[in-house]
Structure 1
Amino acid sequence: MKIIAYAESGHTALGVVTSSTHFVAVADIAPDLPASLIAILEQEDGLARLRKAAHGREGDRLLASVTLKPFLDRPNAMWALALNFKSHIAETGLQTSLDFPHLFMRTAASYVGGGEPIVAPPEAIARAFDYEGELGVVIGKPGRYIPVEQAMEHVAGYTCLNEGSVREYQMHNRQFGLGKNFEASGSYGPWLMTGDEFGDPATHTVVTRVNGVVRQRAPLDDMLLDVARVISYLSQGYRLRPGDLIAMGTPGALKPQPDDKEGQDLSRQYGPFPTPGLVHMRPGDCVEVEIDGLGVLRNPVTADTSYAAPAR
């Protein structure tokens, strides 16, 4: 089951995708369920009731006719992992623990939905604005001190995620902080796919494209720490709650092809680790994160029009 959130009459509504082009509104097929996905997840049988209501339905609304929104309306926690792909560790030369995830947090305001614009910081503020294609994991069942072997029982589903990162601000101090939380700098979507439909994450592959050029490609079993170990570790610190989002880390850049002048031009890279094949996100770009069997998260990149340059 694929669940979307979309803008409708000034508020956000939920839908269930029924085909590559259509969906049904949750309010039409299950009016007794809450209008919030997290509230549905908080009900022990919420997803099961929604699945039953959607079974066999033909979509009567076009996906192309709506603006998708982030489907988590009030997440308690939005975790993210750094240096969790072996290829990314190799390209940066940075060290990390082999046993414990390198964690940081993001705010809800730093994410937009599928198709919505990602906002690039003004070049006067920062120029090293990087994509990071990732698997997003959404918690459905709460729990504390969760054994690794039971961790996957707590997953509601998965989503594609672009962990937009402003490298200059990451480097300002030892905490990633603001560099990982610029307004509307990342995205997730286009939907939540339930775990029963997606299957084992380790059998899938993540691909990131910028303007149609593949910039990242890696099997998800290249992750240093898998989904179950990360969930178990997080639950040692606090009680996981429905709607918690975990971004599982990003792979390294693909080496550029011989005709890829942009990917070979290190003079246009402004981050701390110039890497062949890496390009920064800039206004006018289109960035896609695809995970096979899950979907394609596609976002245009726009300029921050709220910025006013200081008067001289």
Structure 2
Amino acid sequence: MRIIAYQSGAGTALGVMDGTDSFIPLADAAPDLPSDLVAILAMPDGLDRVRAAVAGRAGTQALADARLKPFLGRANALWALALNFKTHIEETGLTTSRLHPHLFLRTAASYVGHGEPILAPHEDVARAFDYEGELAVVIGRGGRHIPRDRALDHVAGYSCLNEGSVREYQHHNRQFGLGKNFEASGSYGPWLVTADEFGDPARHRVKTRVNGVTRQDAPLDDMLFDVAGTIAYLSQAYTLRPGDLIAMGTPGALHPAEDDVDGRDLSRQFGTFKTPGLVHMRPGDRVEVEIDGIGVLSNPIQGDTAPAYTDGRHV
């Protein structure tokens, strides 16, 4: 089952995909269910009720006519792992613990949905704005001190994620969270694929394309810490809640082909680590993250406005 969130009037509604081109509005199939996915995940039988409600129904709305939104809204916690792919560790030359995942948090305001513009910082603010294709894990059943062998039982499903990273701000100090939380700098989607449909995460792979050129391509079993181990570790510290999201880290860049002018031009890179095959996200680009078994998350890159004071009254 694949669940989307889409703009409906002034709010957000949920739908269930029927094939690849159309979906069933959940409000039509089950008007008694919440319009918020986190609230559904918090119900003991929420996903089962969604599945039963849409069984045998055909899609009535075209996906092409919908504006998709982040399906978790403002979830309790949006975790992310740094330096979790071996190829990414190798290309940066950075060291990380082999015993404990390197974790940080993102805000809901830093994510947009499939098809929505990701905002590249104005060049007066930063220029090293990098894509990071990742697997997103969504918790469906909360828990504390979850054993590793039961961790995947707590997963509602999976999605694609692009963790836009502003490298200059990551290196301002030891806590690099602000560089991971610029306004509308990342995305996830296009939908939640339930765990029963996706299967074992280690059997899939992630690819990232920029303007049609593949920049990342790696199996998900290249992760230093897998999904089950990460869930078990997080739950030692606090009670995981339904709707918590975990971004599992990104692989290294693919080595550029001989005719890949952009990938070989290190003079156009502004980050600390000059990496062949890496290109920054720039206004006018389109970035796609594909995970087999889920689909393709696609976003245009749009330039943020020039720095100017706002007082927050209209946020």
Partner of 1:173: 173
Partner of 2:240: 240
Shift of 1:252: 0.1
Question: Aligned equivalents of 2:177 and 2:286: distance in 1?
Answer: 25
What amino acid is aligned across from residue 142 of structure 2 in structure 1? P
> Is the partner of 1:280 in helix, strand or coil?
coil
Partner of 1:278: 278
Partner of 2:51: 51
Partner of 2:12: 12
Give CA-to-partner distance per residue, 1:251-277, whole Å, 9 cap, x none.
Answer: 000000000000000000000110000
Question: Aligned equivalents of 1:146 and 1:183: distance in 2?
Answer: 33
Q: Unpaired segments of 5 or more residues in structure 1? A: none
Give CA-to-partner distance per residue, 1:83-118, whole Å, 9 cap, x none.
Answer: 000000000011111111000000000000000000
Question: Aligned equivalents of 1:37 and 1:279: distance in 2?
Answer: 35
Matched-pair contact (CA < 8 Å) for 2:113–2:188: yes
Question: Aligned equivalents of 1:292 and 1:142: distance in 2?
Answer: 27
- 1:81-160 to structure 2, matched below 5 A, reads 81-160=81-160
Question: Aligned equivalents of 1:170 and 1:152: distance in 2?
Answer: 31
Question: Aligned equivalents of 1:35 and 1:8: distance in 2?
Answer: 11
How many residue pairs get matched? Answer: 309
Matched-pair contact (CA < 8 Å) for 2:125–2:307: no
Partner of 1:264: 264
Question: Aligned equivalents of 2:247 and 2:275: distance in 1?
Answer: 23
Question: Aligned equivalents of 1:73 and 1:165: distance in 2?
Answer: 21
- 1:285-300 to structure 2, matched below 5 A, reads 285-300=285-300
Shift of 1:27: 0.3
Alpha carbons of 1:306 and 1:32: their partners in 2 closer, same or farther (altered >3 Å)?
farther
Partner of 2:253: 253
Q: TM-score, normalized by length of structure 1? A: 0.98
Question: Aligned equivalents of 2:66 and 2:22: distance in 1?
Answer: 11
Q: TM-score, normalized by length of structure 2? A: 0.97
Question: Aligned equivalents of 2:305 and 2:100: distance in 1?
Answer: 40
Question: Aligned equivalents of 1:184 and 1:137: distance in 2?
Answer: 20
What amino acid is aligned across from residue 300 of structure 1 in structure 2? P
Shift of 1:308: 4.3
Partner of 2:31: 31
Question: Aligned equivalents of 1:100 and 1:304: distance in 2?
Answer: 36
Give CA-to-partner distance per residue, 1:105-145, whole Å, 9 cap, x none.
Answer: 00000000000000000011100000000000000001000
Shift of 1:74: 2.4
Shift of 1:32: 1.0
Q: Unpaired segments of 5 or more residues in structure 2? A: 310-315
Question: Aligned equivalents of 1:50 and 1:306: distance in 2?
Answer: 44
Give CA-to-partner distance per residue, 1:158-213, whole Å, 9 cap, x none.
Answer: 00000000000000000112100000000000000000000000000000000000
**2:184 pairs with 1:184:** yes
- After the TM superposition, list the runs of 4 or more consecutive aligned residues in structure 1 that deviate by more than 6 angstroms: none
- 1:222-237 to structure 2, matched below 5 A, reads 222-237=222-237
Question: Aligned equivalents of 2:207 and 2:55: distance in 1?
Answer: 31
Partner of 2:313: none
Matched-pair contact (CA < 8 Å) for 2:120–2:283: yes
Shift of 1:54: 1.1
What amino acid is aligned across from residue 170 of structure 2 in structure 1? Q
Question: Aligned equivalents of 1:197 and 1:183: distance in 2?
Answer: 32
Question: Aligned equivalents of 1:173 and 1:88: distance in 2?
Answer: 21
Matched-pair contact (CA < 8 Å) for 2:122–2:306: no
Matched-pair contact (CA < 8 Å) for 2:120–2:304: yes
Question: Aligned equivalents of 2:212 and 2:75: distance in 1?
Answer: 32
Over the residues paired in the alignment, what is the CA RMSD in angstroms? 0.9
